[in-house]
Each structure stands twice: as C-alpha cells, then as structure tokens.
Amino acid sequence: LADEIARRGRLDYKSTLKLASEMAGALDCIHRLGICHRDLKPHNILRSETGQFKLADFGLGKGEEFETITRAGELIGTLRYLPPEGLEGEPLDQTADLFQLGLVLYEAVCGARPYRGSNAVEILRSYSKDTPPNPSACCPDVPQPFDNFVWNLVQMKRKDRYADVQVVLGDLARLERGGNVRRRQPTIRPPASTAAMSAVKVSMAVKIPPPKPRQGLPPRVLAAMGLIVLMVLVLIRPGRLRPGPV
C-alpha cells in the first residue's frame, strides 16, 4: 500500500472504502482470537493480484497481555502510527489497532499523514496541537460522513474511539449505502474553576441555621455574686474601718 500511495499520490474514495472494509474484517478475525496487531501501517498492507488488501507482518502481534515496552525499554511499533498511549509507554489494547487504521485511511485517501513528527515528543505535540483538515476538504470525491468515521477512529483517548471492530463494520456498512455516520464527541473534563464555582453554588444552596441566642448566667450564680457584693459594701461602710496606730 505504501508503494501504491507513493506512485499514485492517493487512493480514490471507492478504493479507500474497500481498504477500510477489508482491514476491519482482518482486525475482526484477529481480535476474536485475542490478538492485537499493534503495527498497522501502509507498509504492512499488501494488495493481491485480484485487488484485495491483505494485512501482513504479525511480528509484533500480541495476545491478551498487549505489552508495549520491550526488555530494552524501546517502544514497540512504528512511532508515526502509535496512538498517544503507546507513545507514553502504556499497554495497548484493541482500540490501538483502530487508531492505526484511522491514520492509514487518512493517509490513503489524502496522500499525507494527518500528524507529523520524527520522534515521540514531536508526535505527541502534534497530537495535542495540530488540527488536520478533513479528508472531504482535501479530496472532492470524499463525502462528509467519511470524515466522522475517520475521526471516530483516531480519537486521542481510547475511551472516545469505537468500542470494537463490530461498531466499525456497522458504520462502514452505512457509508457503503451512502448513509450518515455520527461523529463521537470527545470526553472533556470541566476546568477546575468551573468545578470550584459549582461547589460554591452548592454550598450557598445549603441553608445554614441561625446562631443560638446566648443564655444568661444561672440564678444560683447570680445570687452568689449578689451576696459577695453586699458583703463588700458592708465592710467598707464609713466608720467601720479605722486607721491603725502610727
């Protein structure tokens, strides 16, 4: 596929849709066996004499563990096609294959990769800052629902991508019928200031009981204090205290 893209510049929409369908079918087969390919890229996709696309090179395929780091601490897979979690050294699951499929489809139909970078840091920066143009904006033969389909594959957070290949195949069937595909909305955490303001509003909504009125001294205490004052007055009456001898 890489040679074909380099020779032709890009694939037409019909061929790209065929590529998407056959790659999704291949991923469905290996995912059912508990295998994650982890290195889906144009160089690992072959085309037969009959025009079928074939997924090849399972050298990095992994079972249930889906490890990402080798013993030497190197990232597994081709950096340019690794999802963000792979570049950060996290374990890969089956949604990593779907992310890579989205990158491949974008490159196939547009003739260029959506994100750039020569190392992990640059690619992660591109993931977080760059906003690639929609395939339909680059190629007039691409319908807008295909844009949504590709961006659903390459969501940066794995929980925002397609849950599994079965959902991908369902949307592909809609595209083949000329139907619409809804774009999945990424999960956005509210900023801290908004959360703080919400907490303030909640606290203001809680009714605070009025303070209890201060109670006076007990009657016994008042009586004792009055008796002490009376005794002092009696002792200091004029004539009761005489000066001593000089």
Active site residues: 39
Please give the Cα distance from 87 to 63 (Å, whole number): 20
Can you count the helices (H) and strands (E) in the chain?
A: 10, 2
Is the CB of residue 19 less than 8 Å from the CB of residue 153? no
| Tokens 């605070």 sit on residue | 208
| Tokens 């890969």 sit on residue | 92
Please give the Cα distance from 189 to 160 (Å, whole number): 13
Which DSSP state fits 55? E
What b-and-e string marks burial along 78-99, b requiring 16 or more CB atoms within 10 Å of the CB?
A: bebbbbbbbbeeeebbbbbbbb
Enclosing H/E stretch for 19: helix 13-32
Evaluated on CA atoms 67, 68, 72, 78, the torsion sign reads positive
Q: In sequence order, what are the residues at sequence separation of 6 or more whose Cβ sits closer than 8 angstroms to the Cβ of residue 155?
A: 99, 161, 184, 186
Please give the Cα distance from 236 to 167 (Å, whole number): 101
